[in-house]
A and B are shown apart, each in its own frame.
Chain A
């Protein structure tokens, strides 16, 4: 019985394995990938092989650096600190909270005229707009015009979420602490009558912010007050959000000063674009050299956290504002790499014969 079983098995088992005799082995495929013989670039880092790289880096970086440096140097920039902590400062009087509204005036002189468009910034120092809890304290949905978020802001806004049982619009610490000084620039011409410089309010925020990210709440007609009905202003604000500007296109959440403020600065010392001074014609400089005075409505207290406030006027180039570091860094790196190239040239020359790698490579 068992024998039969075996015999049958043998007959049955034999043939199937016969035809496919060559098919099934465990031999691994002899492919370049499986045998790890893929063609490979094998960089060997020796002085001889990398010499060109250093020289090329040097040759590229130095001109770039010089270009940037020159561009940066051509940028005109003037900073006027109006914090008023010094007793001599015209704004010193505004440090006490009693004087409201406090207006101070600072004179300054432009030695050279500012060509092209001029950006007017306000700069704050030692202001930690990047504090984690501060950064969090906003509701993007509310700012985006979401009507439910308008009346029920995110919890992140606490404790600036509700005031007197009304939701705050815009809620949060960032909005609450919005910069609210007003800066006006006057050119003191030859005649005694000072000429105000036209400061453009619009165009200072990112286009996408103004048109996509920030939106007023929907509803009704042009009456913004109606749209913000049921909300209250942030605690520190003097007027509600729908009264930021008379221009309907720059009011409410889409007020560009507000939008700029809401883009929290990366570092404790920062500047924010305040106004644009557009070039009127090619013939006249935008800001001719001369005496100017800055009229400040001083509302924003920074002195008690040792902060500073500045007004900055700056022309711009393709690379933005004045920035000497970039150019210098490029020049430095280019020089270093050039220098290293020379050192390696010496090394390569010196060690070519003594090291037996060299006689193999060459």
Chain B
């Protein structure tokens, strides 16, 4: 039972929330060492500062007996989890002491200290330390999609010292002690050590930890020891409950419910006092003051007191309890319609909008501030290698740019572009040639994706890894990202590369061309300075093992010869060679370079058990794969023949799949591959790179210093195979790398000078890249002597094994390594703008939503993206806040404020006035359009208490704010600040884990299910697949949901008050005795049945303005921002109307039946009937659109009322005393006066509202009412009218822009020449901007313009 409860709680949290980080880790104050044993399935609270894990070996016996009965076969049962059974009853093997084998156990039974053995594709049940892996390298691959949504594989390592064991860990003999930190929620950190019995300590890190919720991949079996179990696992600790969000509308409704309570109390008090007074007149009258059974009569005072409670019972319907039920139902209906909107469907990802929060849909209609992430939200987060600068020369990759252009056009159709054959320029001409990828992909289904994505998809479906909520493309592997067309100029320089350059003997060759060396180093750095995992698609996610490592058995010389021949043939037939400018010596070179490989192979380690892996050699497997594919292709109906060649031309390229942690890395590796510098495999010890001219190079991997956000760089330490030196390759943000470059080079003045020149040039290029909105990275290297390295290693080892302040030590250690670097070059990676983003932002701007862009990117990139996506307009006045101190920040802000105020006096008033006028609001561009850019450091000052106000005032003047270099925490602080100080509705949208805090703080959090995983989606209230969907979500659904719900809530208040007041008025005529003139059943059913469905239908289906008009006129959204549908006075007006209607509904029948022989319940009958008609017709008046569903429900309600009354009246002879409905309805229905009364009452009651609505419609229509007229027009008339509407108050220039927009929404906007920055837009290409020569000059160096000339001729060739 408790387990079910816990499950429910967890599941519920998961449903609502997702992962959040709260940093208060639990305090563990008491210190006693824990002997982790005993049978308690719940882990006792932890001891001391650190946790000690002692192998947990007892108590298996009874457990075994308990479970062995159920699972005799000792079979592994894996359950796929769906959302509904998140905690799978996954049984896994566990060590059983007695039987010396593992037994199946439930997740809930796992305790700290248990040994667990997991097989491939099983979900990890608890946080455990990896002790054994069947992988000979001691590696285990895990997929963390269950945790963070990242679908790429990650490597985990067996604890040092255990990796060497070839047999499985024997839990019996495991006697080490593990000490680790107390449970915390930091997924990216784990510290601890393992102490052997001989007091020898081995450090433990995140690399050794398998986290709960991840899945074992590509590893046959692993064994680990549990360190955290159950709710102490990091995954569970990350699931702190989310903030419970309640919509603004509901909050307002709640206060109004309180008003209703007050009203009720007043009414009841009136009743009580009235009854007391009335009774005091007839105290002695036994007619009225009927004595108690014992003959006493109660005093008027007491009777009045009793009457108060009687009245509460009678009038409690006034409190709209059913309102809450109805609200929930309406919200469900609204969510249903949001989710089934076909416009939100994204074909590529086969996903539509996900509404994760059910109770705040109407808040979507009231958003005033929008906070957006940049990367992945506004942009696609598909990193495309665009340009690079090596040794001071810029290579602008024009063909690549052109290719991207063509993608951009085709991208909306599908991404089936498959020129996977990098390096072949000729491929550009026939972009739709299907490759092996598509063929391979063919039978898999309808997913238009290249073979890489397809294969990983394949893998998922094959492995049943459908835990991923919806199958997505493999991360970072769309053809756009993977394919890079090399720059011809750079290819030229590649031709100069020969292995001789690195031969120490050839020092005699005068002046080794330094630039060439740089190029080689640059590309090697691109290929190896990362954490990319290589896998082949036909053996998905299986590590590619190089023969020299795995011990490939070469059976005979003949085979080698065969292999050789195949290789050479392929090489020579490669189109890249023929079309490229590779010298004729290329083929011999390849031969030469391959020789050492084969010689090494022979020397390689003895044959192991992996005979079957013979075909694992990339060449072999790839060629065979391609062959079968080609055959398949032929049998499939004989496709292009030319393809066969092209396939065999680049077998390696098309059969390697890179899985990177960040898209940037993948982009760089793919770029390197385009230059024939292919990353072939990666193991913890070695990296294999196939370099075109140099042949396969095997780098001995000495060390990896992974990327972290503090250092903003990562490094690899390798031993260079050719020069045999220890080389450090570093890749990182330009600002950081530039500071770490060597100041004084030991190699002499000339070299130093050259470095300086390169540095300057590169810096210039970097600035240029940033101006184009590219993400820049610097690549640098450092050559170390063995002695230096050894010393560093020793220090580093100390840092690694320490538990306390390990981070600082590691950072220090990294600093020691990463200095005195030699700059090699820089890369520019483009993050392309998502489709439809500028249009959406423009629409949201028009809707009066203030938009902030919060990004971690650097200022230039951020500003450029902001211009590109129309967040900032070229003629906006841009203020940049970037100061180093708080005082300066304050000064600057006040200066800007003064300037703004001077410029546009009284403008805000004007704006606020305009809004209420029937004319369309005058756009602000008459005087003031300002944008603000603020950097992260300055933001820190601005967010401080003293400057907050000023900052907010400043931002309120600006139509857009861009915060760059903002940390996740700052993001959430900004949102919090705006939300709490300005009392506005905020929406945060983001896609990455860094946006989670912001998403959770905002009133509405929207997650973009993009490339960066599911964390944002998990934390969000709504998940969409593209930014452009936001505009419809807000403008249409938000508007609808808000107006619908607010109208429905108001209607509910009205309904209850109007009906209950009938009872109240009657009290004045029955001595305040609490008599109801209606049968109790009717009273109950009136709210429950007869009038419950119409408001719900109204709340779900009401449509004041059609979706098209709402999209065309974003201004209409402003009514929701100002809560026009439900203001405080609207509530009171509604109540007044309800009072009036109830008065009419009571007193018209009263005057008619006054002094007649009518009895109580016969009097109530016309009242009820009239009230029903009034209440339903009131709804009809308020409805803006009535469908057959409305009609059906309204007519159904009326019919059900009459049916009930008739049947009840016929059946109930003596039931339900004292009210006696017997035959009353029947009598009335034969009486014409009844009908006359009902009609008259209904008309009088509804007349005022009807007249008001009519007058409103013709005298002072709201914008929404006026927009409604557009729905009736034909399309042509509508465009005409819309133009008129928009044009009414706007300047000419704006109108032309609008005409432009209506002409072709999807078309690109012409660029105003005035803004140089703006012209760079999405930085699609240099060629694109060639009309503007002056611009291009800044963008390209002279080398580039050369290629430009070349490129002009290029297309004719292709």
In the complex, are the beta carbons of A40 and B1217 less than 8 A apart? no
**A123 close to chain B: CB less than 8 A:** yes
**B45 close to chain A: CB less than 8 A:** no
Question: Which listed residue (B337, B462, B1244, B1271) contacts A14, Cβ 8 A?
Answer: B462
In the complex, are the beta carbons of A132 and B1070 less than 8 A apart? yes
Residues of B within 8 Å of A329, CB to CB, are: 1148, 1151-1152, 1240, 1244
In the complex, are the beta carbons of A21 and B1213 less than 8 A apart? no
Residues of A within 8 Å of B1158, CB to CB, are: 265-267, 270
Number of interface residues of B (CB under 8 A): 118
Residues of B within 8 Å of A143, CB to CB, are: 1214
A303-321 Cβ-contact flags toward B at 8 Å (1 or 0): 0110000000000001111
Residues of A within 8 Å of B291, CB to CB, are: 159
Q: Which of A22, A136, A266, A272 has the most CB of B within 10 A?
A: A266
In the complex, are the beta carbons of B1187 and A40 less than 8 A apart? yes
In the complex, are the beta carbons of A9 and B288 less than 8 A apart? no
Q: In the complex, given contacts A27-B345, A34-B337, what are 11 additional A-B residue pairs having Cβ atoms less than 8 angstroms apart?
A: A14-B461, A42-B1185, A44-B1272, A132-B1075, A268-B1071, A305-B281, A329-B1152, A330-B1240, A355-B918, A355-B1258, A360-B1269
A270-B1155, A326-B1233 known; A135+B459 contact, CB < 8 A: no
Q: Of residues 448 to 467 in B, which have CB atoms within 8 Å of A's CB atoms?
A: 458-459, 461-464
Given the complex of chains A and B, what is the CA–CA distance between A28 and B292 in angstroms?
67
A38-B1187, A351-B1259 known; A134+B288 contact, CB < 8 A: yes
Q: Of residues 19 to 62 in A, which have CB atoms within 8 Å of B's CB atoms?
A: 20-22, 25-30, 34-36, 38-50, 57, 61
Q: Which of A82-90, A102-110, A206-214, A281-289 contacts B (4 or more CB under 8 A)?
A: A206-214
Counted as pairs of residues, one from A and one from B, with CB atoms less than 8 Å apart, the total is: 326
Given the complex of chains A and B, what is the CA–CA distance between A97 and B341 in angstroms?
82
Residues of A within 8 Å of B1243, CB to CB, are: 57, 61, 333, 337
A133-B290, A356-B1284, A360-B1269 known; A269+B461 contact, CB < 8 A: no
Q: Which of A13, A135, A137, A361 has the most CB of B within 10 A?
A: A135
Given the complex of chains A and B, what is the CA–CA distance between A342 and B659 in angstroms?
77
In the complex, are the beta carbons of A131 and B1258 less than 8 A apart? no
In the complex, are the beta carbons of B1213 and A212 less than 8 A apart? yes
Q: Which of B934-942, B1015-1023, B1159-1167 contacts A (4 or more CB under 8 A)?
A: B1159-1167
A18-B444, A22-B446, A212-B1222 known; A265+B1186 contact, CB < 8 A: no
**A347 close to chain B: CB less than 8 A:** yes
Given the complex of chains A and B, what is the CA–CA distance between A190 and B1237 in angstroms?
45
Residues of A within 8 Å of B445, CB to CB, are: 17-18, 20-21
Q: Which of B351, B1157, B1163 has the most CB of A within 10 A?
A: B1157
In the complex, are the beta carbons of B1268 and A42 less than 8 A apart? yes
Q: Nearest Cβ distance between residue B999 and chain A, in whole angstroms?
A: 23
In the complex, are the beta carbons of B292 and A159 less than 8 A apart? yes
For B135, give the chain A residue with the smallest CB separation. A2
Number of interface residues of A (CB under 8 A): 112
Question: Which listed residue (A2, A22, A49, A337) contacts B1247, Cβ 8 A?
Answer: A337
Given the complex of chains A and B, what is the CA–CA distance between A19 and B816 in angstroms?
59
Residues of A within 8 Å of B80, CB to CB, are: none
In the complex, are the beta carbons of B350 and A29 less than 8 A apart? no
Residues of B within 8 Å of A137, CB to CB, are: 290, 1218
Residues of B within 8 Å of A321, CB to CB, are: 1156
A25-B350, A27-B347, A206-B1223 known; A270+B443 contact, CB < 8 A: no
In the complex, are the beta carbons of B1187 and A156 less than 8 A apart? no
Residues of B within 8 Å of A5, CB to CB, are: 120-121
Given the complex of chains A and B, what is the CA–CA distance between A121 and B884 in angstroms?
98
In the complex, are the beta carbons of B1271 and A355 less than 8 A apart? no
B1221-1249 Cβ-contact flags toward A at 8 Å (1 or 0): 01100010001110011001001100100
A6-B459, A132-B1074 known; A50+B1254 contact, CB < 8 A: yes
For A131, give the chain B residue with the smallest CB separation. B1073
Given the complex of chains A and B, what is the CA–CA distance between A47 and B1254 in angstroms?
6
Residues of B within 8 Å of A361, CB to CB, are: 1269, 1272
Q: Of residues 1080 to 1115 in B, which have CB atoms within 8 Å of A's CB atoms?
A: 1101, 1103, 1107
**A177 close to chain B: CB less than 8 A:** yes
**A185 close to chain B: CB less than 8 A:** no
Q: Nearest Cβ distance between residue B951 and chain A, in whole angstroms?
A: 41
Residues of A within 8 Å of B310, CB to CB, are: 132
**B282 close to chain A: CB less than 8 A:** yes
**A225 close to chain B: CB less than 8 A:** no
**B1270 close to chain A: CB less than 8 A:** yes
B740-762 Cβ-contact flags toward A at 8 Å (1 or 0): 00000000000000000000000
**A158 close to chain B: CB less than 8 A:** yes
For A204, give the chain B residue with the smallest CB separation. B1157
**B890 close to chain A: CB less than 8 A:** no
Q: Nearest Cβ distance between residue A73 and chain B, in whole angstroms?
A: 16
**Can you offer 22 A-B residue contacts whose CB atoms are under 8 A?**
A2-B542, A6-B459, A6-B541, A20-B445, A27-B352, A28-B344, A40-B1186, A44-B1265, A131-B1073, A143-B1214, A146-B1214, A158-B293, A159-B291, A213-B1213, A263-B1159, A268-B1069, A320-B1233, A329-B1244, A330-B1236, A344-B1258, A360-B1270, A361-B1272
Residues of B within 8 Å of A233, CB to CB, are: none
In the complex, are the beta carbons of B1222 and A208 less than 8 A apart? yes
For B1237, give the chain A residue with the smallest CB separation. A326
Residues of B within 8 Å of A36, CB to CB, are: 337, 341, 1101, 1103, 1107
